Structure 1
């Protein structure tokens, strides 16, 4: 299994109390730290402008600016966004930005893309808020434009939502024809979202990676639908790496887990988030699959792996303030999942396979 790590950027109120002149130092330091730990395959940020679960005046840093900045301070780890909203940037422009970041990072970019959902943010920035079907149509057209630009250096599309007439992208991304993992399509494409009729169909057609519901039952159900879409279009289901995002709240015992949840609650309340929304958010953390002791987290990850989830993107709410949870995960969880030669055979034997 591969693992990615979200770097706190403020979107989830995870830089609260840190002075803005220290934000980049914190983010860059955490990115460099992950870059030096081989078990972390990638680092990630969110493509959002206003924080959740309630818009406040707390800082949120823009995703693609961070992509370029992280490219300059890291040298190994891959760089992703979970996920870029197609409608926030013209797709030809976005393809050009991504190609530049791929060059700057020497071929380390992952392209997360989705239809978008955060209505407050859409309307505040003047994008309106089209119905879901329209947003998904924009996603499909935009992905087409990006693929054209990355593979041929040019794109033309007379679409319902986007009109592109010979937009050029030179240099093309470094990734593509000479590198595995992208089906020779340029930068690896992560299509995020679990919409069963349209999003997963788009994923079947274009995605190198998917990212959807990370609960065991939900993951299995979405995987089955994705497999059927692949069958319908004649694509090999196994070509697509299936991933999910996970809030990790890990402790040596139940008391330490409870203390971490309490700290999340206190920080959100301190940022001015209404108590009811805070309680809902903390409950979402508490009931997540990767909440518990290292032994519990390892067991759940093995179950998810058996269901086909082979790339976990992890989020630690306290990372900007306290690294002990991340360190515990690195010390007692990652070795059990990343060293497949040593651990994989034993796990399959235990499952009777």
Structure 2
């Protein structure tokens, strides 16, 4: 199994209490730490407002961070989980990603999806199209990006996007193009897009039975298209709070809960804490979490991206994961 890690950027209230003027230094330090460690990739989220409810807490923009991480790391691959197609013109996005690929010497991954966070869609003036329209726009956008990266130009007279000879030069260092991760588990459309275009998928579920089902649906789409499903790497994301023993786990959860009580608006606090419920598969000792990841591996997971909610304040949980969980699964 391969492993990536999220870098806190504020979206999940994971930089609260750190002065905004110091937040980039924190993110850079953690990115460089990951670059020196066993991780294959680092990730950020493509969102503008905090979740599960918007607030005045800082949320740093994903592609700006991609460029900054590209210049301040040397080995680790750089991804977004996941870029929202509706937030940027796809020809422009192809150009941005190609430039970052050059800055990073060919280390960019393109995580892409249809988008879901209605509040920020409307707040930024994008409206909020129906899910079918968002996914059809996703398909058009991916086609435009692939054209730009593979040929240096993109032309599409689509329903949602129209580009006419958009020049994407320089093309990415990676050829035939930047690897595409299609994120989401929609069975009729999203997984069919993944079967058509993706090098990687991310169903976003750490539930073994759900993952196994989505995997079967993806394979069915690949069979219908005549594509070898083994060409697509399956990934999942997992929230991790790791302790030496149960008492240590409980102490970590208590500290995260205390930060939530101080910084997360009451209207979203319960939903925020659901992500670190004690029964969650990424909460526990290294042995417990490794056992769950082994079950996911047997279900078809090739790649796990770990999110540590305490990372900006305490790296010891990530260190446990690096020393005990990764070697058990790698």
TM-score bracket, shorter-length normalisation? over 0.9
Q: Which runs of 5 or more structure 2 residues have no equivalent in the other structure? A: none
Is the CA contact 1:50–1:121 (under 8 Å) kept in the aligned structure 2? yes
Q: Deviations over 1:208-236 (max 9, x none)?
A: 00001221111101000000000111000
Q: How does 1:312-351 map to 2 (within 5 A)?
A: 312-338=304-330
Residues in 1 aligned to 2:171 and 2:254: alpha-carbon distance in whole angstroms: 47
Q: Deviations over 1:177-231 (max 9, x none)?
A: xxxxxxx3x0000000000000000000000000012211111010000000001
Residues in 1 aligned to 2:105 and 2:163: alpha-carbon distance in whole angstroms: 28
Residues in 2 aligned to 1:323 and 1:165: alpha-carbon distance in whole angstroms: 48
What's the CA shift for 1:172?
0.3
User: What SS is found at the alignment partner of 2:165?
Assistant: strand
What's the CA shift for 1:334?
1.1
What's the CA shift for 1:53?
1.3
* 2:182 aligns with one of 191, 196, 200: 191
Q: Deviations over 1:34-88 (max 9, x none)?
A: 1011x20000000000001111100100000000000011000000000000010
Residues in 1 aligned to 2:309 and 2:57: alpha-carbon distance in whole angstroms: 15
* 2:280 aligns with one of 288, 293, 297: 288
Residues in 2 aligned to 1:269 and 1:4: alpha-carbon distance in whole angstroms: 29
Partner of 2:64: 65
What's the CA shift for 1:20?
1.1
What's the CA shift for 1:277?
3.0
Residues in 2 aligned to 1:109 and 1:280: alpha-carbon distance in whole angstroms: 32
Q: How does 1:1-353 map to 2 (within 5 A)?
A: 1-37=1-37, 39-176=38-175, 184=176, 186-212=177-203, 213-274=205-266, 277-286=268-277, 287-338=279-330
Q: Which runs of 5 or more structure 1 residues have no equivalent in the other structure? A: 177-183, 339-353
Is the CA contact 2:184–2:202 (under 8 Å) kept in the aligned structure 1? yes
Residues in 2 aligned to 1:154 and 1:216: alpha-carbon distance in whole angstroms: 41
Q: Deviations over 1:209-264 (max 9, x none)?
A: 00012211111010000000001110001000000111001111112112222222
In the TM superposition, structure 1's runs of 4+ consecutive aligned residues that sit over 4 Å from their partners are none
Residues in 1 aligned to 2:223 and 2:114: alpha-carbon distance in whole angstroms: 23
Residues in 1 aligned to 2:31 and 2:194: alpha-carbon distance in whole angstroms: 29
User: What SS is found at the alignment partner of 1:313?
Assistant: strand
User: What SS is found at the alignment partner of 1:4?
Assistant: strand
Deviating more after overlay: 258-267 vs 215-224? 258-267
What's the CA shift for 1:279?
2.6
Is the CA contact 1:47–1:81 (under 8 Å) kept in the aligned structure 2? yes
What's the CA shift for 1:272?
3.9
Residues 30 and 189 (structure 1), Cα distance of their counterparts in 2 relative to 1, 3 Å cut: same
Q: Deviations over 1:127-180 (max 9, x none)?
A: 00000000001100000000000000001000000000000111100001xxxx
User: What SS is found at the alignment partner of 2:155?
Assistant: strand
Residues in 1 aligned to 2:166 and 2:62: alpha-carbon distance in whole angstroms: 23
Is the CA contact 2:52–2:271 (under 8 Å) kept in the aligned structure 1? no
Q: Deviations over 1:278-317 (max 9, x none)?
A: 2333233223222111111111111111111010010000
Q: Deviations over 1:93-137 (max 9, x none)?
A: 000000000000000000000000000000000000000000001
Q: TM-score under structure 2 normalisation?
A: 0.98
